[in-house]
Amino acid sequence: MKQGLATELAPAPAVVLPHFAFSALSFLFLSMFTILSANELTGHFVNGKILAITHIATLGWISMVIFGALYQLIPVVMEVALYSERLAKVNFTFLAIGIIVLVYAFWVNNYGMPLLIAATVLLIAIILFAINIIYTAKSSKKWNIESSFIVAAVIWLLTTAILGFLIAGNFKHTFLPAAHLEYLKAHAHTGMIGWFLLLIIGVGAVLIPMFFLSHNLNRKRLQWAFYLINGGLLLFFIDTVFVHLNIYIVPALLVTAGIIFFMLFVHQSYKKRVRKKLDISLKHTVLSIALLILPILLAVFISIAPKSFAGALMLRVSMLYGMSILLGFITSLILGQAYKTLPFILWLQKYQNLVGKYKTPLPKDLYSEKILEWQFWAYNLTIITLFVGVLSGLTWLIQIGAYSLLFTAILYNINIYKIFTHKAKPENLEKL
């Protein structure tokens, strides 16, 4: 293993890099759509523009980069090569097409054939992804709790895609027995908790101690997190899709307890870190874990709030709940960890054969740390203004947050562009 992020088993860069590029551009479009939808962010979340923003965030910005990063990290977690690189490339094409058509269908409020086509293409993409990851895991001789998190996350992703496909079909020809909103709740939570949270915990359990240089950690906390989160989500799924009792407090408490166990693991890793000084990308990671507290509190509040507590304020609380996960916890994590993963992938491609012969630059030399620092503070401003604006219903504050998000996305894309266009010039390097 080379510096913990790649091995000789890692896939070709052509498999991984398109995912990072598409994700970065999606982040840019996400911020522009947010500016255009400031008024809708204080209303009901079942709205064409809000659904477009949600899916460009969940699929274009977040899932796309997760797919790419996971292809690179599978050799680290499972110590096995990816089952099929060709399948991964086909998967990327289907996923990209499906995202573009889906976002368009929601944005123009066309819930007919375009939405169904997009849902079908996305389901195919996710089935191909699931086959690739599950067959990769099956061939691995090393199985640990991180592997369990990843495979469980992929199964929940597949469940999310199937639900999405059924909901899209139900828009055209009604056949589902319960109200749309019930299935949308299940669809959203299998995606956010089952796919995103479990995957982040599984990969984070490897990367966070690696970057902190932490050792001798209590990994039983990860096992508790795995069973509690999956158990809580399964109860929620059965209730929402089949039983319809709307008893959310027990699943919410189980998932919350699982998240707390993961946070205890991260805190232990932080306390035992050898690397005392944190760079900006690791500060983004620490901020991400801190931001996880907000959706936990909001989820418990939504679960115990009496039915009489409804109206505009409850809608804004629900909107903030989703945003705190997507634009808070997960976005902060990506904005930090992308600088740990992508530069190293490109560095390996350009300098691996020069190591030992020349004095090569470090992976962090492939991007601007000053731009990364500006990105960090722009993101902090985004979180404060956007979240307070949504909760208070102040559109002008939401606009400030949306423009700050755009500035964050521009800075991120500039650095991603610098990484992609970095040229290795051996003739300018000092020989060893």
* CATH code assigned at 85: 1.20.210.10
Asked if residue 31 is part of any domain, the answer here is yes
Asked if residue 429 is part of any domain, the answer here is no
Tens of pLDDT, residue by residue over 278-313, are 889 889 988 999 999 999 999 888 888 776 666 778
DSSP per residue, 115-147: HHHHHHHHHHHHHHHHHHHHHHHHT-S---HHH
Asked if residue 431 is part of any domain, the answer here is no
Asked if residue 231 is part of any domain, the answer here is yes
Phi first, then psi: give them for residue 219, nearest 5 degrees.
-85, -5
Q: Estimate the share of the chain in helix, then strand, then coil, as percent rounded to the nearest 5.
A: 80, 0, 20
Tens of pLDDT, residue by residue over 47-78, are 889 999 999 999 999 999 999 999 988 877 78
Q: Count CB atoms within 10 A of the CB of residue 144.
A: 16
- What residues make up the domain containing 19? 13-423
68: Cα separation from own chain's centroid:
11
Asked if residue 1 is part of any domain, the answer here is no
Residue 361 DSSP symbol: P
Asked if residue 4 is part of any domain, the answer here is no
Asked if residue 428 is part of any domain, the answer here is no
**Exposed, middle or buried: residue 122 (CB in 10 Å: 0-12, 13-18, 19+)?**
buried
- pLDDT value of position 324: 95
Tens of pLDDT, residue by residue over 96-139, are 999 999 999 999 999 999 999 999 999 999 999 999 999 999 88
User: Structurally, how many domains does the chain consist of?
Assistant: 1
Tens of pLDDT, residue by residue over 388-406, are 999 999 999 999 999 999 9
pLDDT classification of 2: cutoffs 50, 70, 90: very low
With a CB cutoff of 8 Å and minimum separation 6, the contacts of 198 are 149, 150, 152, 153, 156, 226, 229, 230
Using the CB atoms, write b or e for 361-376: b if 16+ within 10 Å.
eebbebbbeebbebbb
Helices 64-78, 85-107: inter-axial angle, 10-degree rounding: 150
Tens of pLDDT, residue by residue over 259-275, are 999 999 999 998 888 87
